[in-house]
Amino acid sequence: VCSSDLADFVAVHARAALDAGASAAELLEVVMQVVTFAGFPAALRAFAVVEKELALRHTTVPIPRSGRAVVVSFFHALQSGDLESALNVIAPEALWSIPGDTALLPWAGQHRGRAAIREFYELLNDETETESLNLGPIIAHGDLVMVRGEFAYRFPHSQGRYAGAFIIAFTVHDGLIERYEMHEDSLALARGYRNASCA
């Protein structure tokens, strides 16, 4: 089954659920459950389809409240290139903690507050080209939400590359991300960024 067929399938069922009286919040909660059974990429695609169906009915996407829903909406916004929507689910004084030495990786370190987090993503966007990003399951327990994934970057300025796995630990409270802790092989990432094999 191709992805366009799946999108059509989700759209038909989303319209039917809305016609039967389901609320936008209920529909999005169903999408959150897709993460558990079909994986993160499928959930993000379903989220985009539901978001489009809601827009056609002039209904706004409700602000997610559960930790799992907040994290899914955060990744959906980032993957859509919508940094503003991603920032809207981040607490005003949130802390982003990225391992590594800033002398080796310019985006490493701690970034506190939405303005600093915006600068982090803008710098990351300037310094990297994402070749692949695969998000794994979400494990949520109370305010803690964990996501495992794999990604590959290309670094245009050095022609270096890096591919590896990561785990992100989110702390979500009252519908907003308060803390983001990246766990990755920062040394290997720095070597790829600097293209150490050519040094």
pLDDT tens digits, residue range 113-171? 999 999 999 999 999 999 998 888 888 888 999 999 999 999 999 999 999 999 999 99
pTM: 0.71
For 21, left (φ over 0), alpha (ψ -120 to 50), or beta?
A: left
Residue-level pLDDT at 199:
43
CB 139 within 8 A of CB 130: no
Q: Please, which pLDDT band fits residue 198 given cuts at 50, 70 and 90?
A: very low
pLDDT over threshold 70, residue 179: yes
Better pLDDT: 198 or 194: 194
Q: Is residue 42 predicted with pLDDT exceeding 70?
A: yes
Query: How confident is the model at residue 13, as a pLDDT?
Result: 86
- Over range 9-18, report the average pLDDT: 85
Rounded to 5 degrees, what are φ and ψ at 166?
-150, 160
Phi, psi of 50 (to 5 degrees): -65, -40
